[in-house]
Amino acid sequence: SMISFENDYPTGAHPRILEALAATNFEPASGYGTDRFCASATERIRAACDDPAADVFFLVGGTQTNAVVISSLLAGYEGVIAADTGHIAVHEAGAIEATGHKVIALPEHDGKLRAAEVAAYLDTFYANETHEHMVFPGMVFIAHPSELGTLYSLAELEELSAVCRRFHIPLYLDGARLSYGLAAPESDVTLPDIARLTDAFYIGGTKNGALFGEALVLKQPLERFRWHMKQRGAILAKGRTMALQFQALLEDGLYFEIARHANDMAIRLRDGMSALGYEFPIPSPSNQQFPVLPNTVARRLEEMGYQFEEERVIDENHTCVRFVTSWATPQSAVDEFLRDLAACK
């Protein structure tokens, strides 16, 4: 049987989401996110963020959300600062640049930006007498968890937020995998912390048990933001489909329950592989794990039907690979994998 550790969306959606969609299927609702489901999901998200004044919008996917938010918040001559491993810098086919905005890549540290380095970049920019000839750094983009599964601490987020406030530019947080970050045992960051310290962020649905959908939270209502969305094809006529999914996820803590399970499976996988002598150069506490495998072992596992992604080449005989778990990863699959891996030794 094929077992996928390729990503956190290899299956459809959590059954409770499908139930919510089926239960309301024949009820007519107005279009384009103006229905009662969107209104009630918006209130639920505001309450979860402890921010009654926040603006909430539902978009279909992460790349779309990043492109709409970044292009809407930036002036035409501005760019966005990101870690050089950042999703917008590496894995969005130049979506941000296609909107006319440069991604300014700074060095990553376990996938994260350092506040001091962001401040130094901004200070250097302002100190340069010819800076009107340069791309103006108009925003800072981070992901939590990062693309390498690592987490910002509350202190790190507060430092980044303070830098952005000092330079009067927005801090935008990509929350494609936000639940896994919030549910990690070592995390000291809550959803209200993120709402307080960022100017915009999204609560990921696609990678957290939904069929699709991301819930964007804007601290300050952005005038005519829906026109930006519409122009970029980001207003779904059946907005209800996303709202209902977030209703189901945020009811009874399902969102965090899903994430805790995926994290537990990832840590079980990591600890089992570590016990077999495999190394994890990136210290991820969430549902993405990055072991180094001999290429011969990686090939054996692929022949057995396991799916996972290559992260980067270590040397001619070793590759750092990525294993990802989800709400749908059974413990039996992890244990079966560990038995098969032990047999590869």
Write out the two tokens for 260. 């805790």
Mean pLDDT calculated for residue range 164-173: 98
Q: Report whether pLDDT(345) > 80.
A: no
Cβ–Cβ under 8 Å, residues 260 and 323: no
The predicted pLDDT at position 300 comes to 97
Query: What mean pLDDT comes out for the span 287-301?
Result: 98
Across 63-98, b (16+ Cβ under 10 Å) vs e yields bbbbbbbbbbbbeeebbbbbbebbbbbeebeebbee
Give the span between the Cα atoms of 146 and 103, in whole angstroms. Answer: 17
pLDDT over 90 at 286, yes or no: yes
What mean pLDDT is predicted for residues 51-72? 98
The alpha-helical segments, DSSP class H, found in the chain are: 15-23, 36-49, 62-73, 87-90, 95-98, 115-127, 154-166, 178-183, 191-197, 225-231, 240-250, 254-275, 295-303, 331-344
Which residues, in sequence order, are CB contacts of 118 under 8 Å at separation 6+?
A: 81, 106, 140, 160, 163
Give the model's confidence band at 3: pLDDT under 50 very low, under 70 low, under 90 confident, else very high.
confident
Element (H, E) at 202: strand 200-204
Distance between CA atoms of residues 307 and 328, nearest Å: 15
Give per-residue pLDDT as tens, 8-40.
999 999 999 999 999 999 999 999 999 999 999
Percent of the chain surpassing pLDDT 90: 98
Give pLDDT tens digits for 73-116.
999 999 999 999 999 999 999 999 999 999 999 999 999 999 99
pLDDT band at 223 (very low <50, low <70, confident <90, very high): confident
Q: Give the H or E element holding residue 3.
A: strand 3-4
pLDDT tier for residue 1 given thresholds of 50, 70 and 90: low
Residue 334 has pLDDT above 70, yes or no: yes
Beta bridge partners of 57: 216
Kindly report the pTM of this predicted structure.
Answer: 0.97
Residue 79, classed as helix, strand or coil, is: strand
Q: Are strands 3-4 and 200-204 parallel, antiparallel or unpaired?
A: unpaired
Neighbours of 26 (CB within 10 A): 6
CA distance 145 to 151: 5
Q: What is the pLDDT of residue 255?
A: 97
- The mean of the pLDDT values for the chain is 97
Cα 282 to Cα 13: distance, rounded to the nearest angstrom: 29
